Amino acid sequence: MKKLKMPTAYTILFAIIIAVAILTWVVPAGQYDYVDPNAAKKEPIPGTYHLVDRNPQGFKEVVMAPIEGFYDAVDVALFVIVIGGFLGVVMKTGAIDAGIAKITRDLKGKEKWMIPILMILFGLGGTSFGMAEETIAFYPLLLPVFIAAGYDSVTAISVIMLGAGVGVLGSTVNPFATGIASGFAGISLGEGIGLRLLILIASELAAILFVMRYAEKVKKDPTKSIVYDMWEDNKKHFLSKKPENEFPELTGKRKFILFLFALTFIIMVFGVIPFEDIGITAIPTLWWWFGELTALFLVSAIVIGLAAGMSEKELVSAFVEGARDLLGVALIIGVSRGITVVMNAGNITDTVLNLGEKTLSQTGSVPFAILTYLFYIPLSFLIPSTSGLATLSMPIMAPLGDFAGVARHIVITAYQSASGIVNLITPTSAVVMGGLAIGRLSYDKWLKHTWKLLVILMIIIIAALSLGVIIG
């Protein structure tokens, strides 16, 4: 008997489009009055919901929904593609690989301190550009280093997977999570950055302490390792390889490229923070959004390519290759947005909001924030794509936050934190399963190893969300 497989995100999203189209035939159509109907951040006025004529969606509308979705989300999709090109150019230079390999070599014999240093670096990659697939290259490098130092494969896997994964969970300016969600919520990427930074620091610290405690326990007594049954076998398997020689040298040119890479994200943060809104008048607010940010990453990709000494052909090839890697993300954004297109055209979006308004009238702001976080956990298993989940849910969840008196950036933080924690363990993630396969660690042992940390992270996130609501 054939084992049932989880369908792809595309299939799930298209099925939702069909289901929503069917609902437009049976769900009452209605609309709210809005504070400013033409604003990017459309705020419904509580108590103004009224019924309107039904506009059921048929076969043609279903087929056209993803196309219309692309029209609606072309700025976000183009931003994602250009970010992919930018990362393609940076990775082609070998600067990031060389930087981490250099740190690894310099800390030989001091591997205990390699744990926090590398986890912080991976975390910075996760919080800034959603570092995930890029981590796969580091498993062959770090596994022999940690095993030779007396640790086990679980330690090396944890440093990489938890380091970067917790960074994504605490995304501050990650364009694929925070950026896309902010766009569809109609707010600036800079809103709520303080709360997200708090979650990042607290969660990364918890993860580092968790990994260091486990690593020291295993080094003192190898029988405490959850893969002790493979201890000698793993030594033979990993210590026979010399992967560090395969990594490029950190030259002066690559150091300069790392500087340009970091500078790009610093400029991005400066461009999106609404200084005026937080009472800082000495620093000008640029009010950058997807157009300006896309241009920033395009220019930065060109500058980095030229700094690396790439020819015009090499630069274009690296950019196109990187853009191709994220084309799937852009496609998911279009298909996801198609769901909103069908709901809006069928006049049922506000009906769903009205149901939420009635439900939330008896719910306080803090419970709403916590329930939103818990709601996103199963939804993240169903739709593991962070960009697809943001595109699908934000047009509904962000206005619901308005009814509950919860700022939209709190809703975004709840979404990305839930998605981030799920993507540390979901078996549908190529990053998780690929990393475990390279490290020869079974999925059930990974769950056994991480479940206590996941509980701690959930407590941190719920506490931070509650604090965010209370202080406003």
Task: Name beta bridge partners: 44.
Answer: 34
Residues 323-336, mean pLDDT to the nearest whole number: 86
How far, in Å, CA of 395 to CA of 15, rounded? 19
Q: How many other C-beta atoms are found inside a 10 Å radius of the C-beta of residue 224?
A: 13
Is 142:182 a contact under the CB 8 Å cutoff? no
Residues 373-396, mean pLDDT to the nearest whole number: 85
Residues 21-29, mean pLDDT to the nearest whole number: 95
- Within 221-279, residue ranges assigned H as helices are 231-239, 252-272
Per-residue pLDDT tens digits for 49-60: 899 999 999 999
How far, in Å, CA of 105 to CA of 113, rounded? 12
Is 117:107 a contact under the CB 8 Å cutoff? yes
Quick one: tokens of 127?
């919080």
What is the DSSP track for 280-304? --SS------HHHHHHHHHHHHHHH
Residue of 22 and 396 predicted with greater confidence: 22
Per-residue pLDDT tens digits for 333-351: 888 889 889 998 999 988 8
Residue 242 has pLDDT above 60, yes or no: no
* Angle, alpha carbons 130-132-136 (nearest 5°): 155
CA dist 40 to 34, 358, 413, 414, Å? Answer: 12, 25, 19, 21
Range from 73-87, 124-138, 270-284 that averages highest in pLDDT: 73-87
Q: Please, which pLDDT band fits residue 357 given cuts at 50, 70 and 90? A: confident
How far, in Å, CA of 85 to CA of 73, rounded? 19
DSSP 231: H
Q: Among residues 424, 377, 456, 429, which one has the least CA distance to residue 157?
A: 424
Per-residue pLDDT tens digits for 223-232: 999 999 999 9
How far, in Å, CA of 243 to CA of 97, rounded? 12
Q: What is the pLDDT of residue 112?
A: 84
Give the residue extent of every domain in the chain: 9-14+73-471
Per-residue pLDDT tens digits for 268-292: 878 877 677 656 778 887 888 788 9
Strand positions, DSSP E, 82-170: none
